Amino acid sequence: MGKDKKNKVLMSGNEAIAEGALQAGCLFYAGYPITPQNELIGYMSVHMFEKNGVFIQAESEIAAINMVYGASAAGVRAMTSSSSPGISLKQEGISYIAGAELPAVIVNIMRAGPGLGNIWPAQSDYFQATRGGGNGEYRCIVLAPASVQESFDLMSTSFGLADKYRIPVIVLGDGMLGQMMEPVQLPVASCQLPGKTKKPWALTGCKGREQNIVKSFYMREGDLEKFNLKLQGKYAQIMKNEQEYEEVDTKDAMIILVAYGSMARIAKSAVKFLSGKGIKAGLIRPITLWPFPVKAFQPRNRNICYLAVEMSYGQMVEDVKLAVCGKAKVAFLGRSGGGIPTEEEIINKAKTLSPKA
């Protein structure tokens, strides 16, 4: 994949996600307006046609996700996007997509909740994204970009993973990431050509083959249990193979911040400040929220402390505790409802946790 300075453009996170999807061969988008992701649907409404793809402004979030189900069943790369309350409406469809083993990409540019909440950035949909969200036991792969560039880059990854595992992939950003503008280096050639993945299961008309059925209904005794075990096997493979994270100065750190998305950028500044003050601090930034990057928490010095920092009242911190498994101290700092932990708050909290060496 060649890089060219000429291909450096200034974009918002929402636009970068849309452009990333188009360059990854997404040929179907359905969505419904909701703040703070409107630039995404707006970008798609203009540029999808240039790719000869299909754009539909759906009558509801529910219709949009079911359109994605249909397009994916017909074998094309399909996505939808929304923000928190809209993602709640999509949960039925996401469950059906998981149950029918269809690839799909769902973008959630999170806003604060519960209910209508407000349009300020938040990370309070972590549980909903990483635990399934809809009915039944299923998982979505969840990717969390922390910059506009990464928002672009992870779209190709998302569609690749969705096709590889026939699974819904959620891209979990927040209103700050969706709205901020940063330079993005676009690849000279598309990263992944559309239609590369063979989809013999897709609905194309049964010419020259047996009937294909896309379904999640298993009525006969034992059939659903067998199918669910197959899903669990797939999830085990994903947990083994697909953990992604970034580490900053963790090697000798005595305090390790854990943060994802926009929050990780503030945490990174705090790490830099703390290191300047002689406090050995580091950062783990999960890029995959599910599978959670458990391997980033390999046994370390028992005296170290992890500090999970979130724009929520404590959701990812539960995965940190599960990963650490009681072998180190885990602390938490979080705000939600539009409040964002500041660099100063993180530094002050970290100072209280830093072991007096």
Interaction site with another protein (CB under 8 A): 27-28, 30, 54, 56, 58-60, 62-64, 66-71, 73-76, 78, 92-93, 96, 100, 203-208, 211-217, 219
In whole angstroms, how close is the CB of 151 to another protein at the nearest point? Answer: 25
Q: Is the Cβ of residue 41 or residue 238 nearer to another protein in the bound state?
A: 41
In whole angstroms, how close is the CB of 54 to another protein at the nearest point? Answer: 5
Tokens of 322: 């599960």
Q: Is the Cβ of residue 75 or residue 103 nearer to another protein in the bound state?
A: 75
The full length of the chain comes to: 357
Q: How far is CA 131 from the centre of its chain?
A: 13
Whole-angstrom distance, CA of residue 14 vs CA of residue 177: 8
Q: Is the Cβ of residue 82 or residue 250 nearer to another protein in the bound state?
A: 82
Q: Is the Cβ of residue 79 or residue 270 nearer to another protein in the bound state?
A: 79
Q: Is the Cβ of residue 204 or residue 342 nearer to another protein in the bound state?
A: 204
What secondary structure letter does DSSP report for 82? E
H or E segment and range at residue 92 = helix 84-99
In whole angstroms, how close is the CB of 61 to another protein at the nearest point? Answer: 11
In whole angstroms, how close is the CB of 349 to another protein at the nearest point? Answer: 45
Whole-angstrom distance, CA of residue 311 vs CA of residue 173: 12
- Can you tell me whether residue 7 is helix, strand or coil? strand
Instruction: Please enumerate in sequence order all residues whose Cβ is within 8 A of that of 130, keeping only pairs 6 or more positions apart, or say none.
Output: 139, 140, 142, 289, 290, 292, 319
Q: Is the Cβ of residue 59 or residue 252 nearer to another protein in the bound state?
A: 59
349 within 8 A of 332, measured Cβ to Cβ: no
Whole-angstrom distance, CA of residue 249 vs CA of residue 299: 16
- Can you tell me whether residue 118 is helix, strand or coil? strand
271 within 8 A of 281, measured Cβ to Cβ: yes
What secondary structure letter does DSSP report for 107? E
Q: What is the CA radius of gyration of the chain?
A: 21
Nearest Cα residue to 164 out of 127, 205, 192: 192
Q: Is the Cβ of residue 92 or residue 343 nearer to another protein in the bound state?
A: 92
In whole angstroms, how close is the CB of 206 to another protein at the nearest point? Answer: 5
Tokens of 77: 């790369």
Q: Phi and psi dihedrals of 44, rounded to 5?
A: -65, -40
In whole angstroms, how close is the CB of 70 to another protein at the nearest point? Answer: 3
In whole angstroms, how close is the CB of 27 to another protein at the nearest point? Answer: 7
Whole-angstrom distance, CA of residue 191 vs CA of residue 106: 20
Q: Is the Cβ of residue 45 or residue 118 nearer to another protein in the bound state?
A: 45
Q: Is the Cβ of residue 219 or residue 357 nearer to another protein in the bound state?
A: 219
In whole angstroms, how close is the CB of 30 to another protein at the nearest point? Answer: 7
Nearest Cα residue to 40 out of 108, 102, 91: 108
In whole angstroms, how close is the CB of 171 to another protein at the nearest point? Answer: 20
